[in-house]
Amino acid sequence: MGGIVVPTPQLYRAKEPIIEDRKELQRYLDTLYQALQCPSFRIHRNGVNQLAVASGATTTVQWNSTAFYGTGNVLCGWDTHNGWDYTNFRYTFKVPGVYLIGVTFAWDLVMPAASQSTLIFTKNGAGGPSAGTHRMTFQGGGAARDFQAHAHPNAYAVGETVQCDVIQNSGAAKDIFGGQTCAFWGYKLPNQ
């Protein structure tokens, strides 16, 4: 007579234990649990360029998608604690701690060699190092879609925000590349 098979420990018992020491196993499980509980986000432009970023003006990058397309597609995003603000294009922290904030960024066209672009992680909407803002400047003259990547750790309290701003001085409006590999991301460092 058929029926439902209820799994028992005997059905899944390993021939040899992977980790014999209970304290070592507990440390491993605690570390894994902490890593899985760490808030994180990855926001992208969903394959669409941000058009006409004016020269000389600070502009907030309009990261607008947390879509996750799954296996075989590098375009993916997530927001584990629902902190992303799609109206103001910033992340609001719901868990305090030290976060590694990063960006992969590119202009859609070649920037002139004499020009520079600066990516700015703006904390709480205010500029300046005293506000926790971090800047990184890149020289023009590279190839089209020449990617720039950067990450910076910073402490955030509940309710504080971070956004990614950019300023470029090419003398003309430029488009931000919206392709799959460009993203703004962050994750809380375990035990921080």
Read off the amino acid at residue 165. Answer: D
> Quick one: which of 173, 69, 151 has its CA closest to 105?
151
CA pair distance 104, 44, nearest whole angstrom: 10
CATH of 39-188, one of 2.60.40.10, 2.40.50.140, 2.60.120.10, 2.60.120.40: 2.60.120.40
Q: What's the confidence (pLDDT) of residue 132? A: 56
Q: What's the confidence (pLDDT) of residue 12? A: 41
pLDDT in tens, 64-115: 888 766 555 555 778 888 999 999 999 999 999 999 998 888 888 878 888 8
Q: What's the confidence (pLDDT) of residue 141? A: 72
Positions of the chain with pLDDT under 50: 1-14, 128-130
16 CB-contact burial (10 Å; exposed 0-12 / middle 13-18 / buried 19+): exposed
Annotated domain spans of the chain: 39-188
Q: Is the torsion defined by CA of 105, 89, 134, 140 positive or negative?
A: positive
CA pair distance 94, 1, nearest whole angstrom: 53
List the beta bridge partners of residue 87.
none
